[in-house]
Amino acid sequence: MTTPHAVAHSAALPVPHRVVTRAAEAPGVATIVLEPVRSALPPFVPGQFAMVYAFGVGDIPLSVSGIDGDRLTHTVRSVGAVSAALQGLEAGATVGVRGPFGTGWGLPAAAGRDLLVVAGGIGLAPLRPLVRAALAAPGEYGRLNVLIGSRTPQDLLYAPETRGWAPRARVLVTVDRPDGRWRGDVGVVTALLDRAAFDPGTAAAFVCGPEPMIRATAAELVHRGADPGRIMVSLERTMHCATGHCGHCQLGPLLLCRDGPVVSWTTAEPLLLVREL
Partner 1 sequence: MTTSQHGFLGGLPPAHRDRLTAFAQEVEISAGARIFEEGGAADRFWIIRSGGAALDVHVPGRPPPVVETLGEGDLLGWSWLFEPYRWHLGAQARGRLRADEFDASRVRAACGQDPAFGLAVTGAVAAVIARRLKATRTRLLDLYGPPGGGAGGGDG
Task: Give binding residues for [2Fe-2S] cluster as ranges.
Answer: 241, 246, 249, 257
* Of 93 and 191, CB closest to partner 1: 191
Q: How far is the CB of 177 from partner 1 (least distance, A)?
A: 8
Query: In this structure, what DSSP letter does residue 43 have?
Result: P
CA distances from 77 to 86, 219, 241, 268 (A): 9, 28, 20, 25
Q: How far is the CB of 243 from partner 1 (least distance, A)?
A: 14
Q: How far is the CB of 78 from partner 1 (least distance, A)?
A: 8
Instruction: Report the C-alpha gap between 25 and 78 in whole angstroms.
Output: 12
Helix 265-272 vs helix 211-223: crossing angle, to nearest 10: 120
Residues that bind partner 1 (CB under 8 A): 28-29, 49, 58, 60-63, 74-77, 79-83, 102, 120-123, 125-126, 149-151, 155, 174, 176, 178, 180, 182-188, 190-191, 193-198, 200, 208-210, 212-213, 216, 224, 234-239, 261
Which is nearest to 36 in space by CA: 14, 58, 60, 65?
A: 14
* Of 15 and 74, CB closest to partner 1: 74
Sequence-distant (6+) residues with CB within 8 A of 39 are 15
* Of 167 and 180, CB closest to partner 1: 180
* Of 87 and 269, CB closest to partner 1: 87
Q: Residues of 60-72 as b/e, b for ≥16 C-beta within 10 angstroms?
A: bbbbbbbbeeeeb
CB atoms within 10 A of CB 271: 15
* Of 39 and 102, CB closest to partner 1: 102
Q: Please give the backbone phi and psi of residue 169, each rounded to the nearest 5 degrees, phi first.
A: -140, 155
Q: Is the Cα dihedral 148, 227, 130, 44 positive or negative?
A: positive
Q: How far is the CB of 118 from partner 1 (least distance, A)?
A: 13
